[in-house]
Amino acid sequence: MSITSARRRGGLCAALTASALALTGCFAAPGTPSADGGERIRLAMLLPPRSGLSPFSDDAFKLSRWRTAETLVVLDGNGDAQPALATGWARVDDRTWRFDVREGVRFHDGTELTAEHVAGALTAGTRASPKPRILDGVELTAHADGNAVVVATADVDPLVPQRLSSPQLSILAPAAYGADGVVNPVRAGTGPFVLTTVNGTSGATLDRFDGYWGDPAAASGIDVDFVPDGTARAAALRTGTADVVEAIPVSQVEVLDDALVHEVPMPRTNTLYLNTRRGPFADPAVRAAAREAIDRAALAQQVYEGRADEAQGLLGPALPWAAAGRSDAAYAAALARRAQSAPVQGVPITLGTFTDRAELPEVAVLLEQQLEAAGFVVTQDVRQYSFIESDALAGAFDAFILSRATVLDSGDPVAYMFSDFACAGSFNIAQLCDPAVDAALQQAATIEAGPQRRAAVMRAEAAVLATDAAVPMLHERVIQGEAARVAGVARDPRERELITSASAVSDEPR
């Protein structure tokens, strides 16, 4: 057992018992059948809605994970667009795309889906305040043309299909969009489950939609409870009061049956950013010394209790194509150009991170020990994120630990890499401005999604790593709980899917 695990054990069993008692009556009784066949799935989710389940907010991912709202396209494991409410599409010119709308689709309120409805939903997204995150910096228009929707952008954008896969651009029935800008998703989607009731921030109810255009849902419905407390979510799985549980804390895993726990690699990397503009790390040789000082295996074992992957690059196993890209000769040649490390005995550095992600202060403690063993003298500065972000972006720290999502809503890592490592990047904590990095990112940004773009992304990753401006340490995982009687639940690194048409529960363990 790790030192972290031992520290967390105190009082755990008592907490679990209390949580189980608190959950009594929250979830539907197990094995609750519907008159039309199939049992209901009881789902415990981490966060309650923050914006009334508006599709223009992060609440959209709940609608997607419940399979009640759908988008024109979806993404496959490589991040390539696949048909959904659109059956196909073509690029008309650099700034224009044409999407064919699927026929025979009905919204949950009975309205038949048309190209006009799709254009209206997309237009509502462009007019929302604030805009959906996927449209940040994007000027987009949509209009119907027969049974197709023509989407145009002010600038050249090869990722329009990927953008339209974002749950924040789900297509809802016209009646969902109020004149005041408020969107009501109840009985407004097109998915296999219809959202019938939302109980504020406590829960939601969904029933099978028998008019679904695709494969019918195996389960008769979903009963959702929002359970922010991690111990309570784990207790719900342990006591059988929930069938599917989001985001089980690492500290709770050891009291659960291993067969019920599933680890999903996340597109999130725990990275040490080094200030390349001023201070000791302006010297590439000093940055190299910091890189060589880091023991990733120790961080994974002692902080994450072995439930994280040691980083080989900026992009982790949630993007399965990334590892193969590192075998390219050009990738190795780029890394071979990194500076040799210099002696750093007595070199003082400031190390910053934040408390909002519970593991990061623990990472900072262990990383301080590793860096000091190499000769650095470390002073830590740990605060809440809201109180430290501005200083981090201004370059106030020599080094900063950040848990960073590497694939944003488009399913593509170029936006993250540009933001963090381009000269003009808006989140450039490393203060990096390197012509080779900028050239690699600009090349990747111009290529349409597919193998050529992925190869360009890996060349850009190599260019960034060659500077030692960022030292990727760990790729995080999320832990998902599934009862023995449940099957067909999605384990999605992008957290867009969870309950599917195939999801089902039965009295017989799977």
List, in order of start, the domains of the chain with CATH numbers. Answer: 3-67+191-257+484-505 (3.40.190.10), 73-174 (3.90.76.10), 265-477 (3.10.105.10)
151: closest CA among 64, 89, 74? 89
CA gap 168, 59 in Å, rounded:
8
Q: Give the integer Cα–Cα distance in Å for 126 and 115.
A: 17
pLDDT at position 325 is 92
Contact 462, 335 (CB under 8 A): yes
Are residues 152 and 96 in contact, defined by beta-carbon separation less than 8 angstroms?
A: yes
Give helix then strand counts, H and E, for the chain.
Answer: 16, 19
* Cα–Cα distance list, 151 to 95, 132, 238, 410, 446 (Å): 8, 16, 48, 16, 18
* Residue showing tokens 């910091």: 290
d(C-alpha 184, C-alpha 175), whole Å: 8
At 353-368, the pLDDT tens digits run 999 888 899 999 999 9
Extended beta strands in 94-161, E state: 96-101, 140-145, 148-153
Residue (of 509, 502, 415) closest to 453 by Cα position: 415
The H-assigned helical ranges of 407-509 are 414-421, 435-445, 451-467
Whether the Cβ atoms of residue 464 and residue 494 lie closer than 8 Å to each other? no
Nearest CA among 451, 446, 452 for reference residue 94: 446
Q: What are phi and psi for residue 336, nearest 5 degrees?
A: -65, -15
**For every one of its 510 residues, what pLDDT tens digit does the chain have, with 9 covering 90 and above?**
444 444 343 333 333 344 444 444 455 555 555 445 569 999 999 888 888 899 998 899 999 999 999 999 999 888 889 999 999 999 999 999 999 999 999 999 999 999 999 999 999 999 998 888 788 778 999 999 999 999 999 999 999 999 999 999 999 999 999 988 899 999 999 999 999 999 988 999 999 999 999 999 999 999 999 998 989 999 999 999 999 999 898 888 889 999 999 999 999 999 999 999 999 999 999 999 999 999 999 999 999 989 999 999 999 999 999 999 999 899 999 999 999 999 999 999 999 999 988 889 999 999 999 999 999 999 999 999 989 999 999 999 999 999 998 986 777 899 889 989 999 988 999 999 999 999 999 999 889 889 999 999 999 999 999 999 999 999 999 899 999 999 999 999 988 999 999 999 987 655
Residue with tokens 């237009």: 123
User: Residue 465, SS3?
Assistant: helix
Cα(91)–Cα(98) distance, rounded to whole angstroms? Answer: 6
